[in-house]
Structure 1
């Protein structure tokens, strides 16, 4: 009887150890899965960061080109808006002349100087 009781206890211990081993195996598998998922997330984040960096550099280059064009357009606009140039073009191309003094009349409001 002692042997049977001892065998029963030892078999229970083996079953408990087997269950604990199974639990540890499940836990190990779960942790391994979480580790792989985290590693994939890190790889994806690094790839996305590199992609965004390349796009950022391209946009900075485009911004520099647009700033240069803006400066050229401002220079061109100041050239076209020069009053002396406008007067010259008006006289040469359109034949405009300034009115004589007899054709200019300055008026003031009633009580104001």
Structure 2
């Protein structure tokens, strides 16, 4: 079961999306119906989206996204959005990563 919020990473795009609920997820799917996006839930589980004839489903990824990789993605996202000193950004838990993303989205 997916634990909200989610982080979404589209292929070939260094920005991340922080989606708080199912309604925002469905809106994102209308805009970007990609089967290749990586989804990380708030418990740190990694998923891929698989579109189906009747909508789609979250499929648990064979390879989880490591905390280090996720942190690299957040640093890149922050840098692209004009935040400085991203190399100093750090997190020891998935909860801290989501807190950083909330902060980045608000500022």
Could you tell me the TM-score, scaled by structure 1's length? 0.18
RCO higher in structure (CA 8 A, sep ≥6): 2
Please tell me whether Structure 1 or Structure 2 has the larger radius of gyration of its CA atoms: 1
- The structure where helix makes up a greater share of residues is 1
